[in-house]
Amino acid sequence: MATPPSTTVLKAFELLDLFAERPLLGAGEAARLLGVPRATTHRMLVTLRMAGVLESNEYGQYLLGLRLFELGSFAPLRRRLHDVAATPLERLSAEVGLPALLSVRDGDDLLCLEKVDHRRSNVPGRVGQRGPLHAIAAGKVLLAYAPRAVVERYTAGPPARFTPHTLVEPERLLAELDTVRDRGLAWEHDEHFLGVSSVATGIWNRTGQIVAAISVSAGTLPDRRRFRSVERPLLATATEIQRRLGWHPVGKDTTDMAGLSA
């Protein structure tokens, strides 16, 4: 007989999830959002503070502590990707003059692990932020190479619409994923946020499994053709990161795929 999970632990993680959108939380507001008694919520907050996961200020509000960051840095995939991708992403951002990001798929979400900001362009997104797979270029790459069961479940939703340009119809989204697999690149224009576009490609490890995606984003794109110029540096950066992970291309180098834009 399987051991049932601890509902207290699960509720504590629900509580921690609230801080993703609210940097400061009091016991009353947290209890309301969780739908549990204030006394129970306060007990969890105090316990998490004693464990170092949360901190509190002089007003009785709570915020995430550095212990979470410390523990997260030990996650094997997160640490390995940071070690091999940080410098190439910095070079990519400097070369194209745009923010560069590295993201992974976590269930049905896109999770940003690294972001290199650029002073000339500011776009939504931060490390630790989640997003929809179908409305962001990096998410499309990761969804395109996800197991068939994941793709079928995700597209059957249907996915949420964020702007008039979001692909939510299953047939159109599946066709888009076919294009991503054919060309090795994904694009999105105004699909998650109006006025924001991105282009992405995948990162494969030495066993040939996709483990992440890297992308560049722009806040304003007066000319899509101009944005296509970032594809070659993006693919070259992906190849560098993949080689650091022990992957070796078979046949053509992936940089030969640059310019095959939609």
Please determine whether the domains at 7-63 and 74-257 fall in the same fold group of CATH.
no
- Using alpha carbons, select from 44, 130, 88 the residue that is nearest to residue 242: 88
pLDDT value at residue 128:
81
pLDDT tens digits, residue range 223-244?
555 677 899 999 999 999 998 8
Write the class of the CATH domain 74-257.
Answer: alpha beta
State the pLDDT confidence band at 70, using cuts at 50, 70 and 90: low
248, pLDDT greater than 70:
no
Question: Cα–Cα–Cα angle for 46, 48, 49, nearest 5°?
Answer: 65
Domain ranges of the chain: 7-63, 74-257
Tokens representing residue 223 in the block: 């000319």
- Which segment, 56-65, 103-112, 135-144, is predicted with the most confidence on average? 135-144
Mean pLDDT of 158-174: 93
pLDDT value at residue 175:
95
Gap between the Cα atoms of 93 and 99, Å rounded: 6
State the pLDDT confidence band at 93, using cuts at 50, 70 and 90: very high
Mean pLDDT of the chain: 84
Mean pLDDT of 62-90: 78
Mean pLDDT of 202-222: 83
pLDDT value at residue 253:
41
pLDDT tens digits, residue range 110-156?
989 899 988 766 677 778 888 999 999 999 999 999 988 889 999 98
CATH of domain 7-63: 1.10.10.10
Long-range contacts from 77-80, C-beta under 8 angstroms, 24+ separation: 77/104, 77/211, 78/113, 80/245
CB 99 within 8 A of CB 117: yes
